[in-house]
Amino acid sequence: MKLCVIGGGSTYSPELLSGLAEKKKEIPIKEVVLLDIDAERLNDVGEFAQRMMAHLAPEIKLSYTLDKEAALKDADFVVTQIRVGHQQARHDDTKFCVEHGVIGQETTGAAGFAKAMRTIPVLLDYAKDMKTLCPNAWLINFTNPSGIVTEALLRYGWEKTIGLCNGPVGMQMNVAHQVGVPVRDVQMDYVGLNHLGWVRKIIIRGEDRTKEILEKFSPYTATNIPDLDYDPTFYHALSTLPNGYLKYYYLQEEMLEELKNQKKTRAQVVMEVEEELLKYYRDPNQYEKPAALSKRGGAYYSHVALSLIAAIYNDKNEVHIVNTLNNGALKDLADDAAIEIPCVVNSSGAHPLAAGHVDLSFRGLMQHVKAYEQLTVEAAVTASYNRALLALVNHPLVNSEKKAKVLLDYFISRHNLQLK
């Protein structure tokens, strides 16, 4: 069993690898290859990872390489965690957006569009290679914006793709923690899109405790999201548990103010953390997972990814909340839309549970954002300027077609997007 990590030079790789070492009984991986295009960073991370794994799981063969072919050849699982343009692109995009009065955030905001546009062609290229190198591999997509990227892969590149996010598990863990029960006792009736989900019901050991939990506890918000509070009247009226990223929609104006007032962009914060991490990795005496990794973001990502791989490998029929094609599960969205939804995961993949119609209280926003996402996928796949413009015009956080054009033209020139 072989695992290939595309974007293996990420400072985050050691987190994934240490998780793998912990689960080595359940997931009997023999070989891991870190693949990247940044030789220097790959060397730093790869050398450290080898030291670390030599201690934790010497039976797993760990290598790193710039050679796509060697890395992908006969892989059983391929994990993608790339960042085209690095943190600098993220910084520039989000800053430009905020300067023009638009929430830029790199997944939910307008910068998510830019990230999708520069990422999708790269991943579709890898998918093309995989057709001959590892035709049976599962592709676990970590790369943001995860919903959009996953949809592009599922529809245009790799059928056996499953898109991941740590959000749903974060929410589940938060509820479990607050209520004081084990995580596996918390059933969440979660529906929606990546970074745009709502929990309709929380069942704990057969009992519907949604109302009580909404009243007593505050919702989980990832550390990278400015921590503004909802008005309790609204929160009560909504009567579902919202994904943390929904604050960018429900508090659009307030979040924009917040972002305008931030001294550093999130990209700048992460760049500093990464510098610290790389310095640590370069130290030949270090072989333990650094504490600073927790500041890097992506809590539970390693856990989420490896549980998923374990469920597939061991044909577990476990329920995971992942991104996959709708195929009728959510009646308010098209069949070919990627959605984030509870799925039975087993050796033949992720099978969504039927979720019917969703309440009017969030149906429209979900449909609107999905239209933006699907236009983005189309734009990226067909390299169409018009569809790209319509994508941004349809983004609920971009409130003017003229501004959409300003942003698009900037993204095109900044990232050298080839649209026609």
Q: What part of residues 80-119 is at the interface with a second copy (CB under 8 A)? A: 101
Q: Count the neighbouring beta carbons within 10 Å of the beta carbon of residue 10.
A: 25
* Residue 345 CA: distances (Å) to CA of 23, 41, 107, 335: 18, 34, 25, 19
Parallel/antiparallel/unpaired status of strands 186-193 and 338-346: unpaired
CB of 311 to a second copy, least distance (A): 11
Of the residues 5, 116, 164, 251, which one makes contact with a second copy according to CB under 8 A: 251
For the segment 131-190, give every residue that binds a second copy (CB under 8 A): 185, 187
Q: Is 252 in the site for a second copy (CB under 8 A)?
A: yes
* Residue 28 CA: distances (Å) to CA of 69, 76, 245: 23, 12, 35
Q: Is 420 in the site for a second copy (CB under 8 A)?
A: no
CB-nearer residue toward a second copy: 59 or 336? 336
CB of 17 to a second copy, least distance (A): 24
Residue-level length of the chain: 420
Q: Is 368 in the site for a second copy (CB under 8 A)?
A: yes
Of the residues 152, 199, 404, 417, which one makes contact with a second copy according to CB under 8 A: 404
Question: What is the total count of residues that contact a second copy (CB under 8 A)?
Answer: 77
* Residue 78 CA: distances (Å) to CA of 6, 27, 127, 404: 7, 14, 10, 35
Residue 405 has which token pair?
Answer: 């054009």
245 assigned to active site: yes
User: What single DSSP character describes residue 264?
Assistant: S
For the segment 37-76, give every residue that binds a second copy (CB under 8 A): none
User: By CB under 8 A, which span of 8-16, 40-48, 192-200, 372-380 interacts with a second copy?
Assistant: 372-380
For the segment 293-352, give every residue that binds a second copy (CB under 8 A): 312, 315, 317-319, 326-329, 331-332, 334-335, 342, 344, 346-348, 351-352
Q: Is 260 in the site for a second copy (CB under 8 A)?
A: no
Q: Is 363 in the site for a second copy (CB under 8 A)?
A: yes
CB-nearer residue toward a second copy: 42 or 255? 255
Binding track, positions 225-244, relative to a second copy; x by CB under 8 A: -----xx-xx-xxxx-----
Of the residues 117, 139, 390, 407, which one makes contact with a second copy according to CB under 8 A: 390
Choosing from 220, 245, 280, 281, which is the catalytic residue?
A: 245
- β-bridge partners, 38: none
* Cα 155 from Cα 123, distance rounded (Å): 12
Q: CA neighbours within 13 Å on the CB side: how many for 165?
A: 30
CB-nearer residue toward a second copy: 29 or 390? 390
For the segment 198-227, give every residue that binds a second copy (CB under 8 A): 201, 203, 205-208
CB-nearer residue toward a second copy: 187 or 286? 187
Q: CA neighbours within 13 Å on the CB side: how many for 355?
A: 31
Of the residues 253, 263, 284, 420, which one makes contact with a second copy according to CB under 8 A: 253
| CB-CB contact of 340 with 145 (8 Å) | no
* Residue 324 CA: distances (Å) to CA of 78, 133, 203, 287, 389: 16, 23, 23, 36, 26
**Which residues are within 8 A (CB) of 181 and not within 5 positions of it... i.e. 6 or more apart?**
204, 205
* Cα 31 from Cα 20, distance rounded (Å): 11
Give how far the C-alpha of residue 213 lies from the chain's centroid of Cα atoms, to the nearest Å: 26
User: By CB under 8 A, which span of 4-12, 84-92, 167-175, 384-392 interacts with a second copy?
Assistant: 384-392
CB of 39 to a second copy, least distance (A): 36
Q: Is 386 in the site for a second copy (CB under 8 A)?
A: yes
Of the residues 43, 262, 382, 400, which one makes contact with a second copy according to CB under 8 A: 400
* Cα 371 from Cα 208, distance rounded (Å): 33
CB of 57 to a second copy, least distance (A): 24
Catalytic residues: 245
